Structure 1
Amino acid sequence: DFNNLLAGFYGNIQLLELSTAKESEKSRKYVAKLKDISNRAAELVRRILEFSRKDQGVAVNSSIGQIIRESVELASHSLPKNVSISFENDAKGSIVQVEKAQIMQVLMNIMINARDAIGSRPDGHINIVSKQRNLGKLAADRLNLKTAGRYVEVSISDDGPGIPKNLIDRVFDPFFSTKEWSDSKGTGIGLSIVYTVIHNYEGTVLIDSKKGQGTTFRIFLPCADGATTRIDDNAEPEVTVQLEDKTILVIEDEEDVRESLRDLLDRHGARVLLAEDGRQGQTIIHEQSPDIIILDLNMPMMSGEMLLSEMKEEIAHIPVMVMTGLSRDGYMMSVEFPMVKAVLQKPFNHRTLLHALSLAFSAGD
């Protein structure tokens, strides 16, 4: 619901930006500020959804650098002012096959543990470093890894009091807490989750710590081949889509989102048809035969997914772009419904929408 509100708000800000292109610099500055605030709000909501999502259940090829960046951004909101955090990515382009939410939870658990260990001491710091490692059999054996090969190593270091030597071997035990030597008030299950998740991916996690000198957690995950393809809302892609001769059906129950999409597509010369639920959308599809459908997934009366299921044969030749306020992996939709050419996470940038339209029309040719 909040993402739907943001989508309507953000869409109208972008239309206002277009309308004030020739206005005073002061007016443009205010609009740019509103747009920036909306972007930050949308990004925070998206990361919270990614972190809290428990039902995705599928490991996919993902950029480890992107996962770490998003986790750091999310964790930074829970850090006190005396604790800073930094990330050095020396594993650019490294891909791991993981369930993103699980790895975010692993990183969050370790960062929260580091925060609690630092406590109230001034100028505390958490440093994260990622790098790619090519491990031979001997190195893999020393690290208790099943196979040799390419791995990503993620080190998370803090400058807290460190862990006493006699306690290090128990850190990953369920319900074991080190609160006797730190200010942590956790349940003792966070680090056991870290251990379980990483080992489920045939990786390993190690601890280097000395009392009074801080702690470093070292995570090793096997690299995967290939990479996921997704539309990057931050890339500001060049848009070359031609809409003058296109009929586009927008099926969206939120009036603000529906109207802002109509206004944007009108500006680019498209003939725009509007439906406020799946049933109305079905009727328009039968009567008008649109060139492309922009479809919200979560609607009353008939959801977007229900419409796709009921009309799978009829609209097999029509490219569909799905919009959702929930965190959902697009490739899963395209496997079940091949007509789905793009999935957009609300709220999205207008340039991203136009870029996705271009890709969808190309895929439909």
Structure 2
Amino acid sequence: MEFPSPHAIQDSKASGRSFGAVDLLKLVLEALHPTLQFDLAAAVICEDNRHVVPVFTTGRLSPAVTEGVHVQALAAFVELAGADHVTWPSDPPAVIQLSTFGERPIAEPDSYEDAPLVVGGAVTGMLRMSVARPLTQEQRSRYFAMASDVSKAIERLDAQRGQSRLVQERLLQSEKMSSVGQLVSGVAHELNNPLTGIMGFAQLLLLRDLDESARKQIETIYAEAERASKIVSNLLTFARRRKAQKEPSNLNTLIERVLELRNYDLRVRNIETELELDPALPETMVDANQIQQVLLNIIINAEQAMRGDGEGAEGTLRIRSSADERNVIVAFQDTGPGMSAETLRRIFDPFFTTKEAGEGTGLGLTISYGIIEDHGGRIWAESGPGRGTTFLIELPIIAGAATPRRAASEPAPAAAIERRRILVVDDEESIQQLLTGVLEMDGHDVHVASNGREALDRVGREPFDLIITDIKMPVMGGPDLYRRLSDDANPLARRVIFITGDTVAPETRKFLQGVDNAVLAKPFRLRDVRESVRAALAR
């Protein structure tokens, strides 16, 4: 049959309510009424594991008639669709007046013509229409053809509604991540400043002649501070919103980074982690941030599956990596309760979740599936009740340009260098002292300022060869200091080194991407400071 025009559908949505199956049925029945001349019709529609039973009428219905139509429609649908629907709750019947509505009372019909509504190969609804006399073959064919067309239209509406929900959830998730990014940005800045002091002064102490006991203790201080800095760095990586950027990466390294974020939670829940990582695992081209998001989601799911109810709950998460000629494979095997075949079939469906309300959106694995698919790989799970779950990720080995890697090392002894006047600008006294200490060891004449305004005043009174400045400071930050130097055509603008503990803030990233100056991310190594100073002085 021919469906109502888009204008009619648009008019029906004027109230701002989303257009759904009931609206569609109302418009179709009004178009069909002149031909079939029925007094009333009813429908049963399955939505979110409940029954919606609208009653469409051309006249007045008493409460008794309405309830009778409602009960009979449900009974007929259960007989048609199966006994499973007996336990489903039902909304109170909604009486909907058709455009041919009049004041005459409508009695409960003696007979109906029922037609199933089939969506996705399953009976998910039923339309029934009152008939005063049996339909002719032509009328019956038209009626069932209409029901078939309505089924297809409902399927399209469900798909659109699902897509709309997915977009809305992703927008909400994006907003949440934006808020998390702002929070992490502030926290990272506050943590990176003291970590820079701890790691920097530990490096300075390691340059001295120390007895073995003192050296080991200082090395422990440095190692623990470095571990904390890696956690902050990983948090910044997850909070950063950026376009996908593929680069050569080793999945073993990405796994270890994610575990650094979850080690504490796994430990307090008595979950042991067993790693079987192939040391010869080849690199492949991936977006490291996206793949870490997938790995984190799988590890958290495994952790929640093994969480248990009591304090004695425990489990084991085994993570294996391997490779064949064409692919890198990673497996995550937990000792949780496992999943049924039905649950396993739906785990990548949008909004499907077995978690308690508020514990998840049901989008984590859906997004993970999309990320792996975009990388040309595949992700799947193997499970069964009582035997745990194994998630497997397979990614193609794609060669890319190798990026140089810097090996960690102790600060190198100072090389002979010409003495220069250097201005250190930072509102943290510990950072001032640290940079003053390492630069004076190299023979430089070091002066300090607490903000950009104070630095400009000093630059106006005395000459300097180089400025090292923090990005965020009270009164005036590093970017404004740089702009003032540039506006005044001061050659020092080319010899500014920026230091920052916040690489997430959009305004910071935008500024740093627009300048051709060196940047040191806190906490930095003293070797990096020396190399950056030498390079800047050579400009």
Q: TM-score, normalised by structure 1?
A: 0.76
- Alignment: residue pair count: 338
Choose which of 41, 44, 63 in structure 1 pairs with 2:249: 63
Q: Deviations over 1:58-105 (max 9, x none)?
A: 5252523332211111111211353122441456451434152x3322
2:246 and 2:467 mapped to 1: Cα distance? 27
Q: CA deviation at 1:309?
A: 4.2
Instruction: Find the partner of 2:515 among 321, 337, 353.
Output: 337
| Among 303, 310, 335, the residue aligned to 1:115 | 303
Identity %, equivalent residues:
33
- Write the mapping of 1:175-214 to structure 2, written as runs, cut at 5 A: 175-179=351-355, 186-214=360-388
Decide whether the 8 Å contact of 1:251 with 1:277 is kept in 2: yes
User: Counterpart in 2 of 1:266?
Assistant: 440
Aligned to 2:233: 46
AA at the equivalent of 1:69: E
Are the equivalent residues in 1 in contact too, given 2:465–2:492 (CA < 8 A)? Answer: no
Residue aligning to 2:390: 216
Residue 130 of structure 1: aligned partner: 321
Note closer, same or farther for the CA distance 1:84–1:321 as it changes in structure 2 (3 Å cut). Answer: farther
Q: CA deviation at 1:162?
A: 2.6
CA gap of 1:160–1:5, structure 2 versus 1, over 3 A, is: same
Partner of residue 35 from structure 1, selected from 218, 222, 233: 222
Q: What secondary structure sits across from 1:50 in the alignment?
A: helix
Match of 1:173 in 2: 349
- The residue number in structure 1 matching 2:527 is 351
Q: Is this contact kept in 1: 2:234–2:261, CA < 8 A?
A: yes
**Where in structure 1 are there 5+ consecutive unaligned residues?**
136-150
User: What is the SS of the residue equivalent to 1:169?
Assistant: helix
SS where residue 116 of structure 1 aligns? helix
Query: Counterpart of 1:225?
Result: 400
* Whole-angstrom distance in 2 between the partners of 1:50 and 1:67: 11
Match among 325, 337, 351 for residue 161 of structure 1: 337
Select which of 65, 78, 91 maps to 2:265.
78
* Cα distance between partner residues in 1 of 2:255 and 2:205: 34
TM-score by length of 2: 0.54
TM superposition shift of 1:170: 0.7
Larger radius of gyration: 2
* Contact kept in structure 2, 1:297 and 1:303, CA below 8 Å: yes
Shift in Å, 1:108: 1.1
Change (3 A) 1:299 1:94: same
Show the counterpart of 2:431. 257
- 2:316 aligned partner, one-letter code: H
CA RMSD, Structure 1 to Structure 2 (Å)? 3.5
Which residue type is aligned with residue 292 of structure 2? M
Gaps of 5+ in 2: 1-189
Partner of residue 142, structure 1: none
Distance 1:230 1:264, change over 3 A: same
Change (3 A) 1:160 1:258: same
- Cα distance in structure 2, aligned partners of 1:291 and 1:89: 50
1:152-175 CA-to-partner distances (Å, cap 9, x unmatched) read: 433322232332222222101232
Please list the CA deviations of residues 140-190 of structure 1 after superposition, one character each: whole Å capped at 9, or x if unmatched: xxxxxxxxxxx543332223233222222210123212359xxx9544332
Higher helix share: 2
**Could you tell me which residue of structure 2 aligns to residue 11 of structure 1?**
200
More divergent stretch after superposition (109-118 vs 198-207): 198-207
Q: Distance in 1 between matches of 2:359 and 2:198?
A: 40
For 1:144-155, list aligned pairs within 5 A.
152-155=328-331
Is the 1:241–1:355 Cα contact (8 Å) retained in structure 2?
no
Asked whether the equivalents of residues 132 and 153 of structure 1 are also in contact (C-alpha less than 8 Å), the reply is: yes
Q: SS of the residue aligned with 2:258?
A: helix
Q: How far has the Cα of 1:285 moved from its partner? A: 4.8
Moved more, 325-334 or 247-256: 325-334
CA contact (8 A) 1:236 1:352 kept: no
Can you list the C-alpha shifts for 1:30-81, whole angstroms capped at 9, x where unaligned?
4344333323332322223323x14344525252333221111111121135
Structure 1 residue identity aligned to 2:501: G
SS in 2 for 1:162: coil
* Residue number in structure 2 paired with 1:98: 287
Do 2:321 and 2:329's aligned partners in 1 also have CA atoms closer than 8 Å? yes
| Aligned-residue offset at 1:301 | 2.3
SS at match of 1:226: coil
Mapped partners of 2:465, 2:324: distance in 1: 48
Q: CA deviation at 1:355?
A: 4.3
Contact 2:281 2:328 in 1 (8 A): no
Counterpart residue type for residue 297 of structure 1:
I
Contact 1:124 1:160 in 2 (8 A): yes
Q: Does the Cα contact within 8 Å between 1:208 and 1:215 map onto a contact in 2?
A: yes
Q: CA deviation at 1:272?
A: 1.6
